Structure 1
């Protein structure tokens, strides 16, 4: 098979509650599952802790909308006034918001509070990389991040990451030997998003080469990637 014409047999699984490995973050997962209209939750933790996974899982629910840090501020401001108002609005990576987007999120929090006891109530899920009062945001918005529920997420342990890798490999139809999984964890990036990307690349490389997934195949793939890296 030509490596430039790789065929994706299985798409990358979308973030969901079922493929979230909680590890020490059981409380955050439970809070996300229980988030109902009229309530707000702020999820914070370092990159790779799963905060974006939870927000995308929430945004996959019926009548939910997701906004990243690069979203149009006006679209964020207008979200509650849509012809079919969402039951949940998720706003990710708020530590990256510019001034206009911060003003839009401030207005959204006010609308969330005003509508909480009405038939137009919606849930608000927000995520960032640090505790509310340490956020590099305008003061009145920092205060609103802590208005309702706040959940701190921690990075997974190696045992938790091994479980996560095993689950994600299974979702892709891959059966990886324990020595391959251990090699990945001890020799490669430990950020779960990077590890998920590695699994996708390994799946494609295995198909392209017609070889089973082994440590030698993994080494060959990484060597090819390094050789083809733009100088």
Structure 2
């Protein structure tokens, strides 16, 4: 089965070194989001929404921005915990995983961020119109924010990510192995991470290189 894989393109994809800590591939699927991270703090209405599927790079870009802006990372719990940071002019990073929860708290946080001339980065799986928001004022605030979408990765980007993840584990793979794997995994970054982890474990366990026969056995498990 042909994948349309362009191995030269994979080799040519630019790797962006962000703050010497986070390396990631910049392609058409994430270029707009990267550009807006770079434009900070020049964000319309002080809020940027980055939307994309699991393992699309949202967390990665969020970490880059946190390092750049020294933002407070709100992991979980009451959004009121963000208010003192906003009042201190600290940028805020917030992940919306599913439902918003306290809509009034998010509405007040957005107002607080704007009032104190700071910034709010919101990452989510889906755009705000899919969050089931009831509060009209919150809908209005989110509509006024700039939204960028991380696109679905194509074969070349997925293969490039796979090569990088193998490289991060100090594993070399041949073009034949890539061509074998690509049509046999789901088109997602999470699937790439999963197969790389499984092949790494099998390679270490058996003391052998990552080859097509090894990949066949791992995929069959």
| Residue aligning to 1:32 | 37
Query: How does 1:15-26 map onto structure 2 within 5 Å?
Result: 18-26=23-31
Residue pair 1:44, 1:51 contacting (<8 A) in 2 also: yes
Aligned CA distance change for structure 1 residues 49 and 173 (closer, same or farther; 3 Å): same
TM-score normalised per structure 1: 0.73
Determine the C-alpha separation between the residues in 1 that align with 2:211 and 2:201. 14
Deviation at 1:48, TM superposition (A): 4.3
Determine the C-alpha separation between the residues in 2 that align with 1:57 and 1:197. 23
Residue pair 1:63, 1:86 contacting (<8 A) in 2 also: no
Determine the C-alpha separation between the residues in 1 that align with 2:172 and 2:166. 7
Give unmatched runs, 5+ long, in structure 1.
1-15, 227-231
| Residue aligning to 1:57 | 64
Deviation at 1:20, TM superposition (A): 4.1
SS of the equivalent of 1:180 reads helix
Provide the aligned length of Structure 1 versus Structure 2: 198
* Deviations, residues 77-109 of structure 1 (Å, cap 9, x unaligned): 2224159957332111353332x3x33322211
Determine the C-alpha separation between the residues in 2 that align with 1:206 and 1:219. 13
Picking from 87, 90, 109, the partner of 1:87 is 90
RMSD over aligned CA atoms reads 2.7
Detail structure 1 runs of 4+ shifted over 6 Å in the superposition. Answer: none
SS of the equivalent of 2:202 reads helix
| Residue aligning to 1:125 | 121
TM-score normalised per structure 2: 0.76
Residue pair 1:79, 1:86 contacting (<8 A) in 2 also: no
| Residue aligning to 2:112 | 111
* Deviations, residues 170-226 of structure 1 (Å, cap 9, x unaligned): 222221111212222210122102311321222122111101111111222334xx3
SS of the equivalent of 1:212 reads coil
Give unmatched runs, 5+ long, in structure 2.
1-20
